[in-house]
RNA sequence: GCGCCAGUGGCGGAAUGGUAGACGCGCUGGUCUUAGGAACCAGUGGGCAACCGUGGGGGUUCGAGUCCCUCCUGGCGCACCA
């Protein structure tokens, strides 16, 4: 039975054209896939389209086309561009997430998630992107801005659908350890995002009321130092004790200050009882308390927290030191011995936490708590071009999740996209229905699913894209996880975390045997190019720039051009190279070589004209080499070829593809220098097979020319015995410094070789009248003579 | 601020603790050519040399680009996470 090997590159959004970043991504995957096929593996290497999403709606408005037409024609175009690259893809497995035969099964999965309690609806304070007019998940907000639009995100309370990713927080975190073949960097980012911390929940009683205010803390040991409580402006308690107008006023005040620099607060007219000491402590609304973390409320211990200290200073609140330290060291945030804490005096942090937890639990006002930063995944989007959520609402406000038999809920084609907001909301003829079960008037859910839902399971659908259910259990167990998943690091959290959640959720719903979707993750580096600007700060395309008398000029206008640093290719900076033009000018093989040659695949690659040209030269050179008449072999020719096979294989497996290129140069440098021409020999056959994953077109044509065959044979096995060198250049050091080398056979006798070494002029000169006091012989590696 | 990664010729980059700079680009000189984004040959870390060289300083070791400590610089991530 052959090994299964699922090799997958992140599928593209059909924006209209393939760019160089895609080319690099897919060439890397293609080399792996071709290699593994030659090794006899059962290789899965599919491709599809992440086809829902906002750009289609924006384009619809801009170009007066329909999102569906725009998307499908982009797919057409990009597919033909990919085919021009002649990638070894299973096009039979192609899918596009915007097609009914994909999203209807996603609707089934939604129902499954709902029935499993993993999808729910609630009113929530959510992130609103005012430009795209839709809600965003927490993961899609970067520095308070929308990840696509860069617009400042607003907070809104809306009724929204959520996926309960928090149910899997612990497993998503602990399973990161199983992902041995993921970059550590990505794992760290996910770890930080999940944000597990262990501490305590403490219930503070509101003075003179039968109400409690819960806070989360990782430092319950400092409870005696608590001198105030602070809550977020969005905390429910605030709405209870302040009027709406007051809250809005406070919100405006908060917006005026930079929270990082200034802590401000407003006194809420309630106090809390300290849980241990008989005293009241004031409650504030503070700008620095996050509503999205813990309980949205904290106790302030100014002596031992930087922020609380600033706050206490500003509002003249007491500062009680409870950890032994110098008064000048306040706020002292490290650990130490507890003081001023009757129950805990003399204890260290860990013991104090243990003891206080027991105390709180006994009194029933607190307990140990593990808190996660990650929140549930908000999946509702107020947009047309996405997967409809299979839910209907009745006039009384209740809702019903549809049965699978009622699917699909098709996205209607005839919509008016020119209006503001979600086009589905205004489409009564689609929205309003008679519920087939209750015969009551009902309205369809008009929100669609976040497109990250689409990409959370597409790698499963590839296993059988024509099946009349989402997937087949046996196939999933057989072919998953994806063995090598290749894509950009920008999805470190978003797509990769959501997919991991989906895999686990589906595992539990369907009793699958797969815990993680992606066994190995490889993140390829981006492609950069020098940037060019006129004196008027106008960006200029590289191909418009010519060099003349040491100056750079814009060819048409003769304006002086300034060269800027190499940056990620982007349309806005015009430093873009079009794959189509490169393929036309240099061909597929040269393009592939350049994609892997100048730097390791996980690092940046700078596009240069010299780079692509020398790649082309290499392809021509190999072709020229094989057109020569056969000559006799040299002694070591077979050995060199074996080494080539061995090195190429090792370097493909490690993703050290830049070294594969070096291996090719090394081999042909040797062959040409020694004037050994192999023509249609067995050795040529081996070489051509090894070139095939990297240079498929050339290899096929050489194979046809030399061997009259259109089949590339299987990957050659290596004759290990040929790789062993029997003679070596043994380095000779004196006091650890290299003096000379001596050619000798392996397995030499130490005495015999030393005798020879001492005869060498260079060694004699160094030793002179001095004495060798020690000789270190690392057999077959090095000899180091220590002299006094 | 915290965390991670990296710093090697003019440039991109190679080096299980054992000959630093593989391989490529660029450059220099030459050959061939009507011509060349071609091809071929020779050279290319610095220094006249002894020698010196992997961001700086220290350490471990017979031996350090590689391991440890420390500082500097750059990149990335996180960032009031209580």
Q: Can you give the pLDDT at residue A523? A: 93
> Is residue A523's beta carbon less than 7 angstroms from any atom in nucleic acid strand B?
no
> What confidence tier does A522 reach under pLDDT thresholds 50, 70, 90?
very high
Q: Does the CB of A617 fall within 7 Å of any strand B atom?
A: yes
Mean pLDDT of A622-629: 92
Residue A672, CB, strand B, below 7 Å: yes
ipTM score of the complex? 0.94
DSSP sequence for A633-644: PPTTHHHHHHHH
CA distances from A572 to A21, A538, A648 (A): 16, 10, 39
Q: Minimal CA–CA distance to A219: which of A71, A126, A332, A96?
A: A332
Angstrom distance, A614 CA to B35 C1': 21
- Contacts for A364 with CB less than 8 Å, ≥ 6 apart: none
Q: If DSSP codes are grouped into helix, strand and coil, which group holds residue A500?
A: helix
Chain B footprint positions (protein CB, under 7 Å): 3-5, 12-16, 18-20, 22-26, 37-42, 52, 62-64, 76-82
Q: Which of A224-238, A335-349, A495-509, A594-608 has the highest mean pLDDT?
A: A495-509
Burial of A560 (0-12, 13-18, 19+ CB in 10 A): exposed
Lowest mean pLDDT among A6-15, A71-80, A208-217, A411-420: A411-420
- The whole-number average pLDDT for the span A369-379 is 92
How many Å from the CA of A762 to C1' of B21? 24
Longest distance between any two alpha carbons in chain A, whole Å: 110
Q: In what order do the strands lie in the sheet with A4-9?
A: A42-44, A4-9, A482-487, A518-523
Tell me the CA–C1' distance in angstroms for A415 and B72. Answer: 61
| pLDDT of A164 | 95
For chain A residues 369-388, those near strand B by a CB cutoff of 7 A are 371, 373
Query: How many whole angstroms separate alpha carbon A675 and alpha carbon A784?
Result: 38
Average pLDDT (A190-200) is 91
Give me the CA A661–C1' B62 separation in Å, rounded.
37
User: Who among residues 632-671 of A has its Cβ near strand B, under 7 Å?
Assistant: 656, 658-659, 661-662, 665-666, 669
Chain A window 701-760: residues with CB closer than 7 Å to nucleic chain B are 728-729, 731, 733, 735-738, 741
- Per-residue pLDDT, A551: 76
**What angle (nearest 5°) sits at the alpha carbon of residue A520, between those of residues A519 and A526?**
145
Question: Among chain A residues 306 through 365, which have CB within 7 angstroms of nucleic chain B?
Answer: 307
DSSP annotation of A557 reads T
> Does A175 have pLDDT greater than 70?
yes
Q: How far is the CA of A628 from the C1' of B43 (A)?
A: 28
Q: Is any atom of strand B within 7 angstroms of residue A628's beta carbon?
A: no
Scan for tokens 């080399």, then name that residue.
A31
pLDDT class of A41 with cuts at 50, 70, 90: very high
Is the pLDDT score of A550 beyond 70?
no
Q: Which of A20-29, A110-119, A335-344 has the lowest mean pLDDT?
A: A335-344
Considering only residues 165-204 of protein chain A, which place a Cβ less than 7 A from any atom of strand B?
184-185, 188-189, 192-193, 195, 197, 199
Residue range A390-417, pLDDT digits in tens? 999 999 989 999 999 998 999 999 888 8
Rounded Cα gap, residues A727 and A753, in angstroms: 13
Q: Is the CB of A290 less than 7 A from some atom of nucleic acid strand B? A: yes
Q: Up-side HSE of residue A49: CA atoms within 13 Å toward CB?
A: 27
Q: Which of A50, A48, A51 is nearest to A89 (CA)?
A: A48
pLDDT of A788 strictly over 80: no
Q: Å between A722 CA and B30 C1'?
A: 39
A597 touches strand B (CB under 7 A): yes
Q: Is the CB of A138 under 7 A from strand B?
A: no
In 3D space, the residue among A587, A611, A586 whose CA is nearest the CA of residue A599 turns out to be A611
């Amino acid at each position: 039975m052959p090994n299964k090997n699922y090799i997958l590159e992140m599928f593209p959004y059909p924006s209209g054209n393939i760019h160089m970043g895609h080319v690099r991504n897919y060439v890397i995957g293609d080399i792996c896939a071709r290699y593994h096929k030659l090794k006899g593996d059962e290789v899965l290497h599919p491709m599809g389209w992440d086809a829902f999403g906002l750009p289609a709606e924006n384009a619809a408005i801009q170009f007066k086309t329909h999102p569906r037409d725009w998307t499908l024609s982009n797919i057409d175009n990009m597919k033909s561009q990919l085919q021009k690259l002649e990638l070894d893809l299973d096009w039979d497995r192609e899918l596009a997430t915007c097609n009914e035969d994909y999203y209807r099964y996603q609707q089934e999965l939604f129902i499954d998630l709902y029935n499993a309690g993993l999808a729910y609806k609630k009113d929530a304070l959510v992130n609103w992107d005012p430009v795209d007019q839709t809600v965003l998940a927490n993961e899609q907000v970067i520095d308070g801005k929308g990840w696509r639009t860069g617009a400042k995100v607003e907070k809104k309370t809306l009724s929204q659908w959520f996926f309960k990713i928090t149910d899997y927080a612990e497993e998503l975190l602990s399973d990161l350890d199983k992902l041995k073949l993921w970059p550590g960097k990505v794992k760290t980012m996910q770890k930080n995002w999940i944000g597990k911390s262990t501490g305590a929940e403490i219930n503070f009683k509101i003075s003179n009321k039968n109400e409690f205010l819960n806070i989360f803390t990782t430092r319950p040991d400092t409870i005696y130092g608590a001198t105030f409580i602070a809550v977020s402006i969005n905390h429910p308690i605030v709405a209870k004790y302040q009027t709406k107008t007051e809250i809005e006023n406070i919100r405006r005040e908060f917006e005026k200050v930079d929270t990082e620099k200034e802590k401000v607060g407003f006194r809420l007219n309630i106090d809390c009882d300290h849980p241990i000491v008989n005293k009241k402590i004031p409650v504030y609304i503070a700008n620095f308390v996050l509503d999205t973390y813990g309980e949205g409320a904290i106790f302030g211990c100014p002596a031992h927290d930087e922020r609380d200290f600033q706050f206490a200073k500003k509002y003249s609140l007491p500062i009680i030191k409870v950890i032994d330290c110098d008064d000048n060291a306040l706020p002292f945030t490290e650990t130490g011995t507890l003081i001023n804490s009757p129950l805990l005096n003399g204890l260290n942090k860990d013991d104090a936490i243990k003891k206080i937890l027991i105390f709180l639990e006994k009194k029933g006002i607190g307990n140990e708590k593990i808190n996660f930063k990650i929140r549930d995944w908000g999946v509702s989007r107020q947009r047309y071009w996405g997967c409809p959520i299979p839910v209907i609402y009745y006039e009384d406000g209740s809702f019903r999740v549809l049965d699978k038999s009622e699917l699909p809920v098709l996205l209607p084609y005839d919509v008016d996209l020119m209006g503001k907001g979600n086009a589905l909301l205004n489409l009564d003829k689609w929205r309003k229905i008679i519920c087939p079960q209750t015969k009551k008037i009902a309205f369809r859910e008009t929100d669609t699913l976040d497109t990250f839902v689409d990409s959370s399971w597409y790698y499963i659908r590839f296993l059988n894209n024509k099946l009349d259910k989402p997937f087949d259990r046996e196939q999933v167990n057989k072919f998953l996880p994806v063995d090598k998943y290749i894509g950009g690091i920008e999805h470190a959290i978003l797509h990769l975390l959501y997919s991991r959640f989906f895999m686990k959720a589906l595992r539990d719903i369907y009793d699958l045997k797969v815990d993680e979707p992606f066994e190995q993750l490889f993140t390829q580096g981006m492609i950069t190019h020098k940037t060019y600007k006129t004196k008027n700060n106008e960006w200029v395309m590289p191909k418009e720039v010519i060099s003349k008398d040491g100056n750079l000029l814009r060819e048409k206008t003769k304006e002086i051009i300034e060269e800027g640093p190499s940056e990620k290719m982007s349309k806005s900076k015009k430093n873009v190279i079009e794959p189509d033009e490169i393929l036309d000018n240099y061909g597929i093989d040269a393009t592939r070589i350049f994609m892997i040659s100048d730097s390791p695949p996980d690092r940046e690659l700078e596009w240069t004209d010299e780079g692509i040209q020398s790649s082309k030269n290499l392809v021509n050179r190999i072709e020229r080499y094989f057109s020569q008449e056969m000559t006799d072999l040299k002694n070591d020719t077979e050995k060199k070829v074996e080494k080539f096979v061995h090195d190429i294989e090792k370097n493909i497996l490690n993703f050290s593809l830049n070294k594969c290129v070096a291996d090719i140069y090394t081999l042909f440098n040797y062959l040409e220098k020694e004037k050994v021409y192999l023509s249609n020999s067995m050795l040529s056959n081996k070489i051509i097979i090894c070139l095939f994953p990297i240079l498929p077109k050339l290899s096929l044509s050489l194979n046809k020319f030399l061997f009259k065959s259109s089949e590339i044979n299987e990957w050659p096995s290596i004759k290990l015995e040929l790789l062993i060198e029997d003679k070596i250049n043994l380095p000779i050091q004196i006091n650890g410094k290299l003096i000379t080398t001596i050619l000798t056979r392996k397995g030499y006798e130490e005495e015999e070789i030393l005798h020879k070494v001492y005869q060498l002029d260079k060694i004699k000169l160094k030793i002179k009248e001095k004495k060798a006091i020690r000789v270190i012989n690392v057999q077959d590696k090095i000899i180091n003579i220590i002299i006094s």
